[in-house]
Amino acid sequence: MPIITFSTGIKKKYVHNIFLKNIVKEIFKKTKKKYIAGYVNNQLVDLNFLITKDSKIILIPEYDRNFLKMIRISGMQLLNYAVTEIWPNIKKASGMITDEGFYCDFDNMDFVFTTKDLSLIKKKMLYLISKEYNIVFKKFFKKKFLKILKIRKEKYQSFLLKINDTLSDTISVCFHEKYFEECHEVQVPNIKFCKHFFLKNISGAYWLNNEKNKMLQRINVVIWSSSSELLYYKKKKIDAEKRDHRKLAKKLDLYHVEYESPGMIFWHHNGYVIFRQLKTFIRNKLLRNSYQEVKSPIILNQALWKKSGHLENYEKSIFTTNSEHQMYCIKPMNCPGHVQIFKQGLKSYKDLPLRISEFGSCHRKESSGSLHGLMRVRSFTQDDAHIFCAEDQIREELINCIDLILNIYHVFGFKKITVKFSTRPEKRIGSTETWNKAEKDLEYVLINKKLPFSIQKGEGAFYGPKIEISLEDSLKRIWQCGTIQLDFYLSKRLDAFYVNKNNQRVYPVIIHRAILGSMERFIGILIEEYHGKFPFWLAPIQIAIIIISKTHKQYAQKICKKCLIFGIRYSCDFSDINFNLKIKKYITQYVPYIIICGDKEISKNVITVRKRDSNVLYVKNIQLFFEELLQESTQHYLY
C-alpha cells in the first residue's frame, strides 16, 4: 500500500502497487495537463515505472527541458530502427545527444550514404512515427543480452555494453516495436513525440574518435519538442548562415586558409588591422592592471613538457619536431615558458603578485574534420597570462581577473555572461587537501562577486579547478572564451620559488588566465556578432573619401592629411567611375563613414557625411567631425 507524496505536499494512499502512468491519468482528469515522465524519489523514470513503496513524485509536463532530452534519446533509437529496417546488414556503432539534436554512427560495410538515402531514411522515420507505437522497457540479464548481440553480430553494441561499468547483472532494454537496444536513459512513452525533426547531413567519424580505428558514417539529426521550436531553430540557422564569418571574411578581404596549410590563418591587410587593434586594446588594459608583457619561444625541449606534466596529459594535441638527436614540442600553451621567465633572478615575496602576459603563438594538433574557419584552428594566438602569487593573495587576484574579463566583454557589447565552475577530474595531481582549498577559493570569489554559476564536476584541469566564462551572442549562441585556473603544482614541478619574510623558499600559486582565449576565434565571433559591421575603432577602413569630380581632388587630399593627423584609417577614391558606384562600393564594405567632397563643400569649407546604415547625408565642420571621431575611437563606442 504505497503512499504517494506529490510536489504540492498532498499525500495519497494506494491499495496496490501502481504504475506512474495510472497516476498521470487520474491527474489529467482533474487538470487536463499532459505529463510524459516523472521523478520518483529523485530518480528520473518513464510513465511505465511501477511504484511499489512510499514515494515522493514530481511529474514532468510536456515541453520541459527534460522532455527534450527524452525526445532526443528516443529519436536516436528511431533513426537506428529506420536505418536497420532499410538496410538490415548495417551495424549501429554509437550515438550522442547534441545541443540541437543528436547523431548516430553506422558501419555501412560496403556502401556510402548519399543525400538520396537521407530522404529515404526520413520517409521511413515518418512512417514509423505515424504508427504511434508505445516505447517499452524490459529487463534482461546482461550475459543473456550479450549472447543475443553476438548472434546478431552487433560487435559495436557488445563492446559498449562490456565496457559499461554497471554493477548490476541486469540491464534495461528498450523496444521500438521489434527493434531493440540497451538503454538506461528515460524515453518518451510514445514515438509520436519525435515528429519535429529533420536530417541535417552526413559526415565521417572514427570509431571511438580514434583515427587508428575504422571510419564510420555519421548521420546528424536536428530534433525539437515542438514545431515552433524547430521553426525558431531554422530561422536562427538562416540568420547564422548570413553572418557566417567565412563568407563575410571573403567579402571584406580579411583572411584565407590554404589547402597546403590547414588550420593556419593567412591574415590579409584588412583582417590584420582588426587583429592589431584588438591586441592594442587588450595590451592597454593589461598595462593599466600592472601586467608585464613577455615573449617566449614557440619551440621548447620535450623534457620541459614532460617535467611540467603537459606531455602526459596533452600528448595527442602537441606537434613535435627534432634536431640534433633532441625532441622538441611546438608549444600548445604558454605556461612552462612563463615559469622559466619567472625563474630568472631570485624572487622575493615583495615581488608578488607578479603578472606575466603574452600574446603567445600556440599550435595544437586538431583533427582536420574539426577545423572551421577562425573558430577551430591549429595555429592561434592566445591572450594568455600567469599570475604568480602567495596563498593570501589568491582571492584578491581572482576578483581582479573576473573584473577585468567582464569589463572587456562589456566593451564588445556582450552583456549576458554564463559562468561554470569546473571541479577536480579523476586524472589529477596533488593532494585532496590542496584541491579542497583551491576549489573553496574559486567558489568563494564567484559567490562574493554575486555571479550565478553552474558546477561541472570532474571538468577541471589536471593541475587545478577552473572558472569558465562564456558569452551569449545576439543569436543566443554560447561561446566559451575566458578561463581562470588555479594551480598549486606547476611551480613545484619546475622548481620555481620565491623567498618569503622568513627567508624560506616557497612555491608560488599560479593563476592561469585568458580573456579572449584564441584571438582568431574571438575575431570570428565578432565578425558574426557585428555581421561584418565593426565598431569605428575596430573597422579596417574607418573613412572613405569620395570626390564628385577631379576638380575636387586637392580639397579631398586635405581631408586625407587630417586623417593622418588624427590617426584615422582611410581610403581615397579619386577614380573616374560613376559617383553612385563609388558610394555603393563602400556601403558593401561596411565602412562606418563616407565623406563626400564637391563644389558645395569646398565653398563652405565643410564635408558631407554619410553614416553606415543611413541614407541621410549631413554637413559637418571638418575639425569638429574629426574631434568626434577621435572620441568615438578612444572611448571604444559600439555604434
Catalytic residues: 335, 364, 382, 384, 386, 466, 512
- Cα-trace Rg, the chain: 30
SS (H, E, C) 333-402: CCHHHHHHHHCCCCEEHHHCCEEEEEEEEEECCCCHHHCECCCECCEEEEEEEEEEECHHHHHHHHHHHH
Q: Which residues have a Cβ under 8 Å from the Cβ of 382 and sit 6 or more positions away?
A: 333, 334, 358, 359, 360, 362, 514, 517, 518, 519
The neighbouring-strand residues paired with 223 are: 197
Cα separation values, 585 from 63, 344, 409, 547, 572, Å: 48, 54, 32, 14, 12
Contact 117, 108 (CB under 8 A): no
Candidates 253, 210, 256; CA nearest to 93 is 210
Determine the Cα–Cα distance for residues 573 and 383; give it in Å rounded to an integer.
Answer: 37
Q: How far apart, in Å, do the first and last CA atoms of the chain sit?
A: 68
Strand, helix or coil for residue 530: coil
The grid coordinates listed for 163 are: 565496457
Determine the Cα–Cα distance for residues 485 and 490; give it in Å rounded to an integer.
Answer: 12
Q: Which residues of 25-41 are buried (b: 16+ CB within 10 A; e: fewer)?
A: eeeeeeeeeebbbbbbe
Cα separation values, 265 from 250, 319, 379, Å: 13, 17, 7
Residues listed for the chain: 639
The CB density around residue 221, as the number of other CB atoms within 10 Å, is: 25
The CB density around residue 115, as the number of other CB atoms within 10 Å, is: 9
Ranges of H-type helices in 412-456 = 432-448
Strand, helix or coil for residue 246: helix
Contact 414, 470 (CB under 8 A): no
Task: Identify the burial level of 46 via C-beta atoms within 10 angstroms of its C-beta, where 0-12 means exposed, 13-18 middle and 19 or more buried.
Answer: buried
Strand, helix or coil for residue 339: helix
Determine the Cα–Cα distance for residues 524 and 518; give it in Å rounded to an integer.
Answer: 10
The neighbouring-strand residues paired with 44 are: 39
335 is in an annotated binding site: yes
The neighbouring-strand residues paired with 471 are: 417, 479
- Which residues make up each annotated binding site for Zn(2+)? 335, 386, 512
- Which residues make up each annotated binding site? 335, 386, 512
